[in-house]
Each structure stands twice: as structure tokens, then as C-alpha cells.
Amino acid sequence: MKKLLPFLTLCFALLLSGFVSRPAADGYQVGDKAADFKLKNIDGKMVSLADNKAAKGYIVVFTCNTCPFAKAYESRIIDLNAKYAPKGYPVVAINPNDPAVAPGDSYADMQKKKYAFPYLVDESQQVAKTYGATRTPHLYVLTRKGADFVVSYIGAIDDNSEDPRLVKTKYVENAMTEILAGKPATTNSTKAIGCTIKWRRA
């Protein structure tokens, strides 16, 4: 049994490496300026934050096709865009997963989605690392301050990933109510709940 322990320990570590996200860079904190990016949309066009001159901000959500949490939140992400895009805060969805690790998250599979908002591929995974995203979904509300976009909220959409009917606290909607009133969000950071991002294996 003692001879088996090192082998079993190694196997366990290798198993975990496939499921546990690597530590991301520190990423953004509330109040930080978010750098712009240029990523390919599912329609083949390149999209950046600067493209929409009328945007008062953005709801940036790192999500994907395959994660059960992302699937559970898909309709709620669509609803966020329907509610806040007319108020100047459209959704921008970004898929950071490596399709070699999660084949269902390939660009071709992304193109099967029919969203009213951009669904961008973060092929290099650099945008997710810059933001500090670790989960799908992982959401960031950005607010325009002059020529910059400042992070106003980071975290989860609400407090119940399993059943939207049982949600008690709608974190993003509560934050947006205050942001649209010109106030900082009282709760500006929560723990993102979802699958770990599937980072490219070294």
C-alpha cells in the first residue's frame, strides 16, 4: 500500500489538473479602468468596446456553450441584455474556453448560438486573464467615465444558479439600479459561481 501512495497521489493531481482552473492574474478590481479589446464575433466581425459610441457601459460576461452553469444562466443573460441594452448597457459575452479541452466550445459551435448581443471568442485567453475571470459565467459591469470604462461590479448574476424562480437576490440588477441612478453599487463584488475556465494546457 505504501508503494502505491506516490502513484495514487500523482494520479489524483493529474485528475485535478483537468478540472481546476489555473490561478488567473490578479485581474481587475472594482474601480479599475478596463482596457479595450478586439475579439472576433460569431458573425466573423471584430468587436471592441470602443465600437459602440453610445454605450454608457457594458455588461461583460465570460461564458461558454458547455458548462451546466452557463447553460442555466443563458436565458438570464439574454434577459439582462433585453433590459439594460436600451438603457445604454448592452451585454458582451466572451467565451474563454480552450476548445481542445472543451470541444463543444469551438468557434463553429459558438456560431450555432443566435444572440442579440456579441458572442466573442477569446482565442488567446488573454482577455479572461486580464480581467481575472476564473468561472463561466463570470460577470463584470463596466461604466463609462469619459473615454474610459471603469469596473463597477464583479461576480455572480444572482444567488441561485439552479432555479431562477428561487432567486432571492439579483446582484447584477441591484447593482444596475444604483449605477443607473448615478450611485456606486452597494454590493459591488460577489463570488462567481460556475465551471472553471478551461485553460490551454501547457
Q: Looking at this protein, which amino acid is placed at residue 171?
A: Y
Kindly report, residue by residue over 19-35, the tens digit of the pLDDT: 333 334 489 999 999 99
Q: Is the pLDDT of residue 143 over 60?
A: yes
- pLDDT value for 16: 35
- Report the alpha-carbon distance of residue 153 to residue 140 in Å, rounded: 6
- pLDDT value for 23: 37
How far the first Cα of the chain sits from its last, in Å, is 32
Q: How many CA atoms lie within 13 A of 16 on its CB side?
A: 7
Kindly report, residue by residue over 31-84, the tens digit of the pLDDT: 999 999 999 999 999 999 999 999 999 999 999 999 999 999 999 999 999 999
- pLDDT value for 201: 87
> Which carries the bigger pLDDT value, residue 109 or residue 2?
109
- Report the alpha-carbon distance of residue 34 to residue 164 in Å, rounded: 30
Q: Residue 113 forms beta bridges with which residues?
A: none
- Report the alpha-carbon distance of residue 133 to residue 156 in Å, rounded: 11
What φ, ψ does residue 62 adopt, rounded to 5°?
A: -85, 120
Q: Residue 139 forms beta bridges with which residues?
A: 61, 155
- pLDDT value for 120: 98
- pLDDT value for 19: 37
62 and 197 Cβ atoms separated by less than 8 Å: yes
Work out the average pLDDT over 9-27.
43
- pLDDT value for 26: 80
